[in-house]
Structures are given as C-alpha cells and as structure tokens.
Structure 1
Amino acid sequence: MSGLEELRVDAYRSLKSVRLEHLGRMNLLVGANNAGKTSVLEAIGLVARPLDPAQWIQTATNRDASGPLVDGLWALFPTSTALTLESGDETSKAISIHANLGDGNRHLRSHAIAFVEQWTDVDRLSADPQSDAVVRIHTDVRVGGGAKAIKHEMEFRSTTPRRVPVGVGLPPIRVFVITPITHRSTAQLITHLSHVIDEGAKEKSVELLKMFDPNVSDVLISRPFGRDAIRVLHEKSGVVDLATFGDGMRRAFAMSVALSRARGGILLVDEIESGIHARALDSVLPWLVRAAAEAKVQIIATTHSLEAIDASLAAFADAAPETVITYHLRRTEAGHVCRRYDLAGLRDLRDEGLDIR
C-alpha cells in the first residue's frame, strides 16, 4: 500500500519521540483530550507537504482562524512561548519529523526566526513608519537518506500580504484535512464539491448521503441571491438546502467529498465522530474503508470517543485484524507513549473493560 507507512515525531509543538509504525489503510488515533492527537495529524500534513506555504498556513489557522497568522505559525514550533519581540529577534527550536512515505524515507527539519520589520508607504509622503511582525520559516528536507537537503524559505507577515512561493524538488502528495468544524463551513464544502464534480466523482458522495436518507438523489451547487449554496435533490421534499439535514449528514458529506479529492493521497480527519451519532458510525465507517480502498486513499483519524471505538469493533466484527489499525496515544511525565493495536488486540482490550481513550 502506498501512503504513510511510518511516522516519527521527534519534536513538534508539545510532541516528543512519538512513533507510529505499520500504518494501514484506515487508522484511528485514540487518546484523552490534550494527548496530542491533533498535533500528530498536523505533523503528517507538514512532512507530506513541507515546501507548501498553504499547508503551513492551514495548519496554523485550523485551530484559530481569527488569530494572528504569525502567532499561529510560531506556536507550531516546539515549546514556543508567546511571541512578544520586545527584546529583539527570536529564534525557535527546531521541528523534527521523520516519515516513510511513497517516495521513501523523508526527514523534515525546520526552525523559525521572528522579527519586527519597519516600512513606510512611499506613495504617502507624510505617512508614519509602519511595523509588521514577521515569521521566517526555514525548511530542510532530506529524502531517502541522501546527504543533500532540499532547502526552502517562507516568510509570513502579520498584516501586509505577500505571495510566498511553493518550494520545488519533492513529488506532490495529496493531503486533505477535515477538522471538527469543516462541515459547518459552506464555503469549504462548495470548494470540495466543485472539484469532485469536475473530476466526475460525485456519485460516491451521494452514496454516503443515501445512508442517512435513502430519498436523496443528487447534490448540486446553486447560486441564489448571488451567493453559492449546496442543494440536495430529495425524492419527497424536492430541492432543499444541505443544512436542512443537520450536522450528521453535513459531516459525512464533508468526509466523502474530501476523500474523493484525496484520491491517491492521505485524508486526515480530526474527531471522526464529530456530529455523527454512534449508531450511524456502524455504517459510515465501513463505507469509508471501502471508498478509501477504491480511491487508494489512506485515512488517519482521531477520536476520544469510546462510542466511536466500540462502533468500529461492531462495524468490523468479521473483518481481518489489519482492516483498522488503532494507535493509543498517552501523555506521561517522561513524554508520549504510543501503542499499536489491530482489531483483534483492540477487541481483547475492550472485552477486558479497558477504557482506551
């Protein structure tokens, strides 16, 4: 299977020495709140697309879309304290992530320098000097154990926009992220659906919606009153807005269109149970596994829901042990501990009454 086979996070945010081995097609990362599950997903996205500024921006803004970009970027680096710049330039500690991807072993090492840049608008002779907080990220990627590194520099400002070039030298890996609130953003859903329609893969998304309501026949993009919207063709209700069906259907729809876009790549799902009732997971999870196999997509999802874990065991009661791989991430005083379980091992733990969250 192509995709991520192994991940080792030596340093990223608060993660230290976290290792996931022998990943499968469908992978569940479980653990308590603040165990670092979301950070693992972020590390996967960055090591897959380390030279893409959009990946860094998305990673920084997924947790706080309204906060200053430079603060979000700075927080990605290990044990970063709040950015003040009162005493001059600041240099971060280094991110260090190893991965075995489709192009072989890959090592990302990155550090950031933050500083204040002053400037004056030359078109306004009386303009007062302005200042910007700037985060300059230096990336260094080694592929296949080679001594020569691919280097790239990206610079981000707090207020003034600037085009940041994409680095070259690495094969593109498709990575898409579903956060716990992606399904509530109509703009994001429309973007995904537009690409899926262009690629002729909409039928799969409709198939998943039919699990929630068998009377769904199609999904369209409409433009009432000059704004885009997603409409569902319903055999009984006619043409209705997707929001009519509630969080569960919107969440499933978000995963299905993102999975279609991730064809041949990786889909990262944070809190896979978000918005979906545990009983619906019994049918949604097998559908995701089948669709991922057809689209050659690897899914890595987080959950802290015991109901989601038990739904996985119920949904795959007769499946091969390697159908779903579970990694239990736990934070200790000495660092993080990550243990791998196939379905048989996870079932044994649950039979013993262990709460593996």
Structure 2
Amino acid sequence: MGVYISELDIETYRGIKKLKMENLAPINIITGDNNSGKTSVLELLQSVKNPTSFRVWRNLIRNNGMNLSRGLTYYDGFYDLFDVNEDTKKIEYAVSLNGEKHVIEMQATVLHEEILESQFNKLQGLSYVRYEDDYAENIMNVSKLQMQIKDNGQIASNSAVYEGQIRYVRNKSNEDSSREKNIIYISPTRHAEGTLYLNAVLETPDLYEQMLAILKDYDEDIMSINYDNSEENGRRRGVYKILSKSHKKALPLNVYGDGMKKAVLLMSAVIAAEDGVLLIDEFETAIHTSAMENTFRWILETCRKLNVQVFVTSHSKEAIDKLLKCSEKCLDDMALYTLYKKENMTAVRRMNGRKAIEAQDNMGLELR
C-alpha cells in the first residue's frame, strides 16, 4: 500500500504555531519568507515515517549527528525541536495518513540528576581511566531531558538524553521498524555528502535510460553510470562512476560539479521513493536555470508514474515558476502553499497549480 498524506495540522513545533495545511496534493510546493517554517514542515513530514520512534526524531536534529564533535550534543538537538519561547516543552501535530488520523504528542521535562564522573565521560564519548583502586569518583549534577511520545493519547515510547551527550543509545523495546513508511528527505546540501539511491536506478532499465537523457543537460557526452566495487587505491567500498566521451576513462561522480550530483541524487531518490513520499528542501539548490525545466519535468512526471507524493520548498521565484510550468500533465496535481507569520500563528495561503500561474502572470501576485 502506498503512502499519502492528505492533511497536516501543527499545533506547535519549533517556531510554528497553529498551522493547518489541508487538501494536500500529489505535488506540493511550499514557499514563504525566511524563517516562515518551510523546513520545519518538511521535518515534521519526515517524522511521519515512524512518529513514535526516537530514532526517527533523532534524524530531524539539524546537525543529524554529523557535527557533534564541534560542541553540539543530542541534548541540544532534541531541546531545539521544541519552541524556545515556551517553558512547557511540547510538540503536537495531527496528520491524516491514508485516510487515518494520528495525533502525535511529544513532551519533555528538564530534570537534574546526579551521576558518576565516569558515566558523564562515557556520554561525552570519552574513556574513563581510574588510576588508583581507592580512587573516589566525583559525582556530577547534570541536566537530563526526559521525553515521552503519545500516539492518539496512548503512550508509545520514552527516552532521555543528558547534557553533554554525544552518543545516543535508543531503547530498542520502543522501536517497531515494521511501522516505518517509505518517506525520503533530501536536504539542500545532501548532494555534497555523496549519498545516492542509484541501486534503485540501476535495477530499473527504462528509467535509467531516461535519467541519462536528462543528465545530458549537465554533460552532453555522458554514456553511462556504473558502480565500481574494485579495491582501487585501498578503497574499502565502491563508488559510482560516470563514463563520458569527454574523458579517457570513467570518473567518480564526486569529481563532477554540484549540479550533476544534485540531479543524480534527486532522480535516484524519486525511484527509491516509489509508493511513498519524497521531501526536497530548497529543491533548486545547485541546479542551473538552463537545466531546471527538463530536470523538474522528469522528476514530477516520474513521481506521478511511481505513485510518489512530493513536497518541495523554495524561495526562488524563477524556480517556482519553472516548476509550475514544466509539465502540463502534472499541473492539475499541484498545489502551492505560501507560509507567513500572522500575530502568534503561522498562516498559509493555498492555490492549485493553475490558479498560481494565473495569479502570478495575469495579476502580478507574489507567490512567495
């Protein structure tokens, strides 16, 4: 069974309060001013993958575990998921998924707990060495974030993180991976990390051929993309290589420019998201305007073919215009949501694809 989200009603999450997005479409474009909540909406939609799993929520932390050595901790990351202006730490939203409504609540309480210095060091990823048998350990008073998740009012899972913690050990008894939905999130810089979904592409010959045709906008001489798992130069794992008439031998994808890497990432993610949901934050990042139309058309039409619901964010007027107009086949499947702050709430304006084009071209309405 596929995954389809028809409504998202956010009571509170990060800086968003009382935002209701109704009549979600197969293709949803989310725009608005900076700090209007575009990325936060995609984060919550990512949590729908398995909203009672702290492992899934951990992935919403914006450092995503990549920069913990630079002073960021899981305590900081989880704490920042909540509204910084509220003393009561609470996340609450309702989502209509495949016709079934779920009300998800996460509550957190800041506690203080005394722990041994060795335990604290372990949380920080440090080895603790006791030099003398009669050495008396220091007792430390540290902050602790005690968290609980409810699904439709029923307690589903509990977890806790401590101040300074850079290692996260989840409670496996609370995890149920069988509930996970196929929801893929692509951040604005994901292409620079080298993460791809090309296995799905290489197993789909017709879509592989189509993708190569689109990639000619980035390298007109491209011939193929293959996975090389030879242990060249002591490499322990394989790399994806591009064979092009422009070069004497196949080159690793990572030597190409950001545009090629972003296009390959997006197109491979579309195929991997079959019967699921694809979330793309700042989808136009690294894509040159000359390549946008063909790339966007392939992405939208292939999502339509593979039953993938799409949510994209953008602040670029040109990119939004090209996305709206790239495929007549998909236009009736599109909705554009503009987020804006109104008093203490996040308001939204919704237009279907045709109305959005008419409002922009004939009435001069600013869609962002």
- Report if TM-score (shorter chain) is over 0.5: yes
Q: In structure 2, which of residues 72, 75, 91 is the aligned counterpart of residue 70 of structure 1?
A: 75
Deviations 1:291-314 (A, max 9, x none): 212322111010000011111233
2:225–2:240 contact (8 Å) kept in structure 1 = no
Equivalent residue for 2:225, pick from 218, 222, 229: 218
- Residue 32 in structure 1 maps to residue 28 in structure 2: no
What is the aligned partner in structure 1 of residue 184 from structure 2? 176
Q: 2:116 aligns with which of 115, 119, 125?
A: 119
Aligned residue among 89, 93, 107 for 2:89: 93
Counterpart amino acid of residue 182 in structure 2? R
Letter of the 1:204 counterpart: L
- 2:124 corresponds to: none
Question: Quick one: structure 1 residues 70 and 207, their matched pair in 2 at CA, closer, same or farther if it must change by over 3 Å?
Answer: farther
Give distance in 2, aligned partners of 1:116 and 1:17: 31
Q: 1:219 to 1:309 in 2, by over 3 A?
A: same
Q: After superposition, give the CA deviation of every residue in 1:65-104 in whole Å (9 maximum; x if it has no partner).
A: 42222111111112357xxxxxxxxx74211111110261
> 50-59 or 228-237, which moves further after superposition?
228-237
The answer to whether the Cα contact below 8 Å between 1:230 and 1:241 also exists between their aligned partners in 2 is yes
One-letter code aligned to 2:147: I
Change (3 A) 1:134 1:294: farther
Does residue 336 of structure 1 match 2:346?
A: yes
SS at match of 1:136: strand
Match of 1:276 in 2: 287
Tell me if 1:159 matches 2:156.
no
> 1:150: how far off?
4.8
Which has the higher mean CA deviation after the structures are superposed, 6-15 or 218-227? 218-227
SS at match of 2:77: helix
Match of 1:87 in 2: none
* Counterpart residue number, 1:355: 366
* Offset of residue 41 of structure 1: 0.6
Corresponding residue for residue 19 of structure 2:
18
Residues 163, 312 of structure 1: CA spacing in aligned structure 2 closer, same or farther, 3 A cutoff? closer
The 1:134–1:253 alpha-carbon spacing in structure 2 relative to 1, beyond 3 Å, is: farther
Q: Which residue of 2 aligns with 1:255?
A: 266
Number of residues paired by the alignment?
Answer: 337
- Structure 2 distance, partners of 1:305, 1:218, is 31
Task: Indicate the residue corresponding to 2:210 in structure 1.
Answer: 207
- Measure the CA separation in 1 of the matches of 2:48 and 2:208: 28
5+ unaligned residues in a row in structure 2: which ranges? 120-128
**Aligned match for 2:300, one of 268, 276, 289:** 289
Per the alignment, do residues 112 and 348 of structure 1 end up closer, same or farther by CA in structure 2, a change over 3 Å counting? same
Question: Residue 60 of structure 1 corresponds to which residue in structure 2?
Answer: 61
TM-score normalised according to structure 2 size: 0.82
Does the Cα contact within 8 Å between 2:112 and 2:144 map onto a contact in 1?
yes
Paired-residue identity, %: 24
* CA offsets 1:34-85 (integer angstroms, 9 cap, x no match): 111001111112234212222211101357842222111111112357xxxx
SS across alignment from 2:61: helix
Distance 1:290 1:320 in 2: 7
- Tell me if structure 2 keeps the 8 A contact 1:137–1:155: yes
